[in-house]
Structures are given as structure tokens and as C-alpha cells.
Amino acid sequence: MASEMTPSDLVQCPVCFKGFKPATINGHLDVCLLGNVTDTSPSTNDDDDDSGPPVKKSRIGAQAAPLSPGSSGSMSGTQPSAVFSMFQTNKSKVSVQSERSGSLTSAVNKGLKRGLETGAESGPAGPETLKSRTRVSTSGQTLKASDELSPRKLLTLNKPLAEILRPNTLEEYFGQSKVVGQQTLLRSLLDSQEIPSLILWGPPGCGKTTLAHIIASASKRNGTARFVTLSATSTSTNEVREVIKQAQNELRLCKRKTILFIDEIHRFNKSQQDTFLPHVECGTVTLIGATTENPSFQVNAALLSRCRVLVLEKLSVVAMGSILNRAVAALGIRVLGRDPANPRDQTDGDGPKIYIEQKALDTIAYLCDGDARTGLNSLQLAVQAQVSSTQPSQLLEDGSPEILVKEEHIKEGLQRSHILYDKAGEEHYNCISALHKSMRGSHENASLYWLGRMLEGGEDPLYVARRLVRFASEDVGMADPSALPQAVSAFQACHFIGMPECEVILAQCVVYLARAPKSVEIYKAYNNVKACLRNHRGPLPPVPLHLRNAPTKLMKQLGYAKGYKYNPNFSGTVEQEYLPDELQGIDFFTWTPSES
């Protein structure tokens, strides 16, 4: 029967236009349609391959192929749309699959193209196009991009200098050698691309976001993972779920991991943080969270146990100096007193010749309080201000202006030292603890220093005054009974006049309490009383009858106040018991609570 079939008896496939028997056409359509949905790259009949969907590398080549002469086929542009329009009943389902496949393909190609730096020139975009992309992209405005710009253009970009010069390699990452040094565990993990889930905890400007971007750059270069950045201040739970869904598809289809960076992760509440738990646990996403708050308080314990906490320290003056030296080299700025040779001077002859004093750089390093973002942006502000105020009289013989940035220009921009202090965070409790312990140790200079750190950082003076009232009784006590009236008077004076006039009042009270003799006997005795009450078994003992008040006749008949000796009626000591029978003879100043 099969041998007698004519071409008119065969059913033509609407996809490949080949003839098939009616009994086999359905099975062929399933395979043929699936192949068309998966393989969306342009192809010709001579290059048909039934081995499966092309790998990511071939997809890039397929996208570049239409640009070469003679590579475009008649089916590459018309066949998919013509095929899908024939199946109206299943159009929605197939189109959704096509959209997902297309978006995933474009996402993979986009990520790979960013990582393939060596082969970028052979793609459809030329070197000039790639340079322009580097300038306008968020993560591409690095030191490499800045080398292609003049100092004037670099300083007039609508982005902070700290963002433009964000490093992309660990060799340019200064100040955190304890975390990412040569012999550290994290450095070896980063080199091997085995990145664990991390919580980066540190003060502002210490390099948390920069370290995350370095990890992202390494992942993009190697093509081992895709990097997604979210901010907890502007991201909803639904957006997080969508990113996780994409990560699951990426891992299942492309065998590629997803690194999810959450900035300010402490802004997520507990229920939002729970969204990450199962996906971090099973390895669907590698979570990197950055926070300025103590993760012990702000991050779920369950999520914290699945991540490694890295504590980044405030940048030292030496580290800030290295960061500023890198910045002035990128900007083509000469530092007075150093080697005058600078390769940027020959390339930027049409721009201003900018100089900066070494004192000015040292001032930034000391006054920015270990915050690299503040330091770099202060440098940018000072240089921009001097460039804008250049007068025609400053023109040199060759017509180029000469600009000098001095120490006073830096101080004018910073105004005062950048003090790290969070009135509602951990630094709040750290400083008040340091103040309390310095006064307890009778160190008046340290006491004044910690008081200044709090007040200059914006602390409420009444909060400090309340703590001094507590200290007057807890640590000075009966050694100097006038300490409590001093502290209460200081609180009232601060309430009357407020800041900044009340700062000297608080300073006086702090010095008084630091110099006062210390005694904690009342504090310990009352703690013993609380321990006695809490450890007592059974009903508390009743008040002795002779100590009770008897305002009514009935109470007098019951024995209330009977036998009480009114002390003013006696000239000497009155022998009388004031404690319940169970506590006779106890001395709370020397008594030690039992462990039972």
C-alpha cells in the first residue's frame, strides 16, 4: 500500500514542507514544531542538525551570521511567523514558549557578550560602539572607561566620582586585606568561582557594593553565572519572586547559576527575607546581601545561618590614600611634590592642567572617616569648583588654564569631619556603652571624647542626660550622694535650652561623674533583693502584724499595728523586727543568691 501511494496522498508538513504518511504526520509535527520553537536562530536547509538546540556559543555566531553576505536564508525571517499563524488554537501557548525562549536566548547572549572581551571587536558592534557602551553603562564606567576621557569630561559627568571609578578587580580594591587578602578563604573561593552566599556587613563607604560588583565582573568574564542587582529600598516581594523564577529557569535550561545581590538587605522585613530561604538552601541563587546594620538583629536567624557573614572594617588612612592616588591618576591630576611626569599630560593638551597639594589629599584621607564614597566625591567637588571658577588671567602661554586645588578648598567642601553615627543603629549603643564605661573607669578625657562623638553625630542630648542620671545612682551611689542632684539638674538644663548650648552642661556633668568616687553597693544590694524575690519558693511571707497600718476598728481587733514601737518616742535604739520571720538576719549588701 505504501509503495502505491502517490505524492498527492502524502501530507505536507507546514514547517519543513516535506511529505509524510498520514499515520506519521502527527508525530513528525511534534518534533518539528518543538525544534522550531527551541532553535530560533537563522538556519538554512544545508545546516539542519537534529542533535538538539544549539549551544550558547553557536547562538552568538548565528546572530552575527546575517551580517555577512550570502548568509541570509529565505526561511530565517518568514517561516516562524508563517508557521505559528497557521495554528490559531494553540497560538497563545506556543507564543509564550517562543517569548520565553527568545528572552532567555537574548539574556544568555547579552551576558556572554559582556564577558567575551577579547572577541568583542569581531561582533556586529565595532570598537567605537563598544567604547560608547562602556561610557554609558552603569557598571562600565570604571577606570578603563575613564582612561578614554579627559579630566574635564570625566568631572562633568552626571555621576559621582565614586561610581565612575568603582574598581572591577581585587587588585584595585584597597583596605579589606583581612577579608579578601591573598591568603584568605574568600579570595581562594573567588578565584575558583565557588562563591558562597554572603552577608557583607560594614559602615558606609567601606566597599560592600564594590566587592559585589567585583564578584559580578569575575562571573561575567568567566560566563559561569549571571548577576542580578536589587535594592531592598525599592524592590517588592513579587519582583524578588520573579527573579527567583528566572534563576530556576536559567539553572534548569542553561546550567548557569544566578548571583543575587541585595543592597540594604536589612530594609526587608522578616517575611520578605523568608522568601530567599528555600532557594538559598537548595542553591538556586547565591545570595549576597549588603547591610550597614548588625545582621544579628536585622537578618533572620534562619537566613543568617545559610550565609557567611563578612565584616568589612572602616577604611584606614593608608587605604584612603591609595584610593585617592588611583583617582588622581585616573583624572590626570598632578600632585605637587611628586614625580612631575604624567602620561595624561601629553594626551590632554587641550584641557586644563590640574594640580593638587599633597596636604589636600591627606586632609581628605583624614576627614572622610574611612568612607571612600565621601572621600572621592569630596575630591570631585573640590576639583569641579576650581575648574568652574577658572579666570582668564590664569591662562598659560599655550592657552591652557592651570588649576591648583589646595587644602582650604577641600576643607571648604567637607566643612567638618564626616562622623559615622547612627542614632537608631548599633553605633548608638556602642558609643553610649563606651561613655558609661569610661566614666566608670574615671577616665575623664575618654568620657568627653565619647560624649562629643554622640553629640556631634546628632544624638538627642536628653537621651544622654537620662543615661547620666542612671549612672549617678548605679555607679556613684552613696560614695557621692550629690551626684544624683547634679545629673538631674543637667537633664533639666538640657530640656530648657537644648542644643548646642546644652553641650557644655552635659560635658560638666560627665566630668563630675568621671571624677566622683564610685560605689555600686546600692546597685548590688537591690539586685540581691530582686534575686531573693524571684528565687523564693511558695507564697511570699506576709507582712508582720505590728508593721501593718490599722485605720479601722476591725483591723485593730485583728491585731494590726499591735506592739509597734514608734521610734521618735524612744531616745535610743529600738529593738524591733522589720523583716518577715523567714528573712530574719539577712543582709542584702553581703548576701549571695543561691543557684537553686
Per-residue pLDDT, averaged over 497-522, amounts to 93
Q: Which CATH number fits domain 176-311: 3.90.79.10, 3.40.50.720, 3.40.30.10, 3.40.50.300?
A: 3.40.50.300
* pLDDT band per the 50, 70, 90 thresholds, residue 89: very low
**Of the segments 188-197, 425-434, 566-575, which one has the largest average pLDDT value?**
566-575
Average pLDDT for 561-571: 88
In 3D, which of 544, 551, 549 has the Cα closest to residue 578? 544
Helix, strand, coil content of the chain in percent (nearest 5) = 55, 10, 35
Per-residue pLDDT at 401: 62
CATH number of 426-518: 1.20.272.10
Q: Is 96 a residue whose pLDDT tops 50?
A: no
pLDDT average, residue stretch 66-93: 40
Q: Please, what is the Cα angle at 374 between 373 and 375, to 5 degrees?
A: 90
* Average pLDDT of the segment spanning 330-342: 72
CATH 1.10.8.60 fits 317-339+350-415, yes or no: yes
Compute the distance between CA of residue 510 and CA of residue 436 in angstroms, rounded to an integer: 9
Helix ranges, 275-357 (H): 277-282, 295-298, 301-305, 317-331, 343-347
Residue 391: the pLDDT is 57
Q: Using 50, 70 and 90 to split pLDDT, how confident is the model at 185? A: confident
Highest mean pLDDT among 341-355, 387-401, 442-456: 442-456
Per-residue cell: 311: 565584616
* pLDDT at residue 58 greater than cutoff 60: no
> Taken in order 387, 390, 394, 398, is the CA torsion positive or negative?
positive
Can you give the pLDDT at residue 47? 40
Least reliable range by pLDDT among 201-215, 422-436, 540-554: 422-436
Q: What residue spans define the domains of the chain? A: 176-311, 317-339+350-415, 426-518
pLDDT for 437-465, tens place per residue? Answer: 999 999 999 999 999 988 888 888 999 99
**Which band of pLDDT confidence, cut at 50, 70 and 90, is reported for residue 75?**
very low
Q: Say yes or no to pLDDT of 42 above 60.
A: no
pLDDT category of residue 535 using cuts at 50, 70 and 90: confident
What pLDDT, on the 0 to 100 scale, is given for residue 277? 87
Most confident listed range (37-51, 253-267, 502-516): 502-516
CB atoms within 10 A of CB 341: 8
Top pLDDT among 84 and 14 is at 14
- DSSP assignment of 351-418 equals S-EEEE-HHHHHHHHHHTTT-HHHHHHHHHHHHHHHHHT--GGGB-TTS-BEEEE-HHHHHHHH-S--
- The tens digit of pLDDT for each residue in 190-212 reads 777 788 888 998 888 888 889 98
